[in-house]
Amino acid sequence: MIDKKDVKYVANLAKIKIASGQEAFLEEQFSKIIGYIDKLKELNVEGVEPSRGAHITRDVFREDKVVPSDCREEILKNSPSREGDYFKIPKVVE
């Protein structure tokens, strides 16, 4: 089902390096995952409504409200470096 070529392909997509000894282990793990997905495909879900979660019983969104806040100094205290009322960080874009 899954071979070393597939493992290397997925590793390349994920931008991860795999030690040569791990390839066989990952082949087995990927095969188990694909097998489980194939098993799920066999389920008859005709007429089953999609759900967003059985534990959600109410809408958790709220309207945004603007409230006054004066904690700037307290927030800036946490910065390792600051310049006036701003965080000072190293340049990351040239």
| Nearest-5° Cα angle at 69, 63 to 70 | 170
Handedness of CA 88, 90, 92, 94 (dihedral sign): positive
Residue 28: what pLDDT?
Answer: 93
Rg (CA), the chain: 25
What digits encode the pLDDT tens for the residues 59-82?
Answer: 778 888 999 888 888 899 888 899
61 is a domain residue: no
Q: How many domains does the chain have?
A: 1
CATH number for the domain spanning 32: value is 1.10.20
Domain extent at residue 22: 4-41
79 is a domain residue: no
DSSP secondary structure letter of residue 82: E
19 is a domain residue: yes
For the cut 70, the answer to whether the pLDDT of residue 56 exceeds it is: no
pLDDT bin (cut points 50, 70, 90) of residue 53 is low
**Measured between alpha carbons, how far is 74 from 18 in angstroms, rounded to an integer?**
45
Residues 11, 30 contacting (CB under 8 angstroms): no
pLDDT bin (cut points 50, 70, 90) of residue 51 is confident
**Measured between alpha carbons, how far is 60 from 50 in angstroms, rounded to an integer?**
19
51 is a domain residue: no
91 is a domain residue: no
80 is a domain residue: no
**Measured between alpha carbons, how far is 20 from 45 in angstroms, rounded to an integer?**
41
What digits encode the pLDDT tens for the residues 14-26?
Answer: 999 998 889 999 9
